[in-house]
Amino acid sequence: MAVRSHSDRGQAFPIYVVMVAGLLFLAFAFFAVGKASALRNGSQGAADAAALAAAQKARDNFGTGFYASLPTNMLDVFLNTPFAAPCYEASRLAAANDARRTSCYATPGYLRDRITVGVRGNEPVDSPVLPGSENKKAKAKATALIEFRCPNPRAVDFNSDGVQDLFIFTCRNGKILEIAPGSPPPWESVSRTLFDVRLVDQ
């Protein structure tokens, strides 16, 4: 029967120590990667919320000019006016999601504008196994599309006096909206029909 010497046991101990240290390092590394991924997801959520909020606020702010363009028959011209990016709203939503707005801008298009918001999370990764991570914060960007979905409105002049008395919007979602310039309905009741706001790929 073989007898293990005390020296064999002594030589195995450093191997166990190295193995345990390696496993601990891997555990910390996996934790750091997991935390970084969670922070990245959180920042992306903040960017999505900020971009949507800015786009929705832009749509809300659009009403006064939209209605003003109806009596003067300037609707087509007005609809090609770019949306302003209300970046204060993006900042508010970013802050509510533990992030800070780093960029905010609108990209105009024909009857469709994009508002892009970039954010950076407030919490650093701060892992002892990742050098420099104490100042590393997750960044993300999101873009929301504001799209006019009721193109080619039809104007009706009941009195043949050159003044449009009614605008009829036939929208892609199947809804038909009628707006009389003289007594337009509240903007809140029509904006969601006229304009679609959604996140899109950048």
- Give whole-number Cα distances, 137 to 8, 115, 128, 134, 148, in Å: 48, 23, 15, 8, 36
In the Cβ-directed half-sphere of 25, how many Cα atoms lie within 13 Å? 8
Burial pattern 87-125, b for ≥16 Cβ within 10 A else e, equals: bebbbbbbeebebebeebebeeeeebbbbbbbbbbbebb
Q: How far apart are the first and last CA of the chain?
A: 72
CA atoms of 140 and 31, how far apart (whole Å): 21
CA atoms of 149 and 199, how far apart (whole Å): 15
pLDDT at 189 over 60: yes
CA atoms of 85 and 64, how far apart (whole Å): 16
Q: Which two tokens stand for residue 46?
A: 């903040």
For 48-70, the pLDDT digits (tens) are 999 999 999 999 988 888 888 88
- Decide which of 36 and 190 is more confident: 190
Q: Which residues contact 183 (CB under 8 A, 6 or more apart)?
A: none
Q: Quick one: pLDDT at residue 30?
A: 58
- Give whole-number Cα distances, 99 to 16, 43, 120, in Å: 43, 7, 5
What is the model's pTM?
0.76
For the residues 29-35, what does the mean pLDDT come to? 58
The number of beta carbons lying within 10 Å of the beta carbon of residue 34 is: 10
Q: Which two tokens stand for residue 189?
A: 């009741």
For 8-24, the pLDDT digits (tens) are 555 666 666 666 655 56
Highest mean pLDDT among 2-16, 28-42, 62-76, 79-93 belongs to 79-93
pLDDT at 1 over 50: no
CA atoms of 196 and 175, how far apart (whole Å): 13
Q: Which two tokens stand for residue 176?
A: 């038909």
For 129-163, the pLDDT digits (tens) are 555 556 677 889 999 999 999 988 888 888 888 77
- Average pLDDT of the chain is 81
pLDDT at 35 over 60: no
Per-residue confidence band for 80, with pLDDT thresholds at 50, 70 and 90:
confident
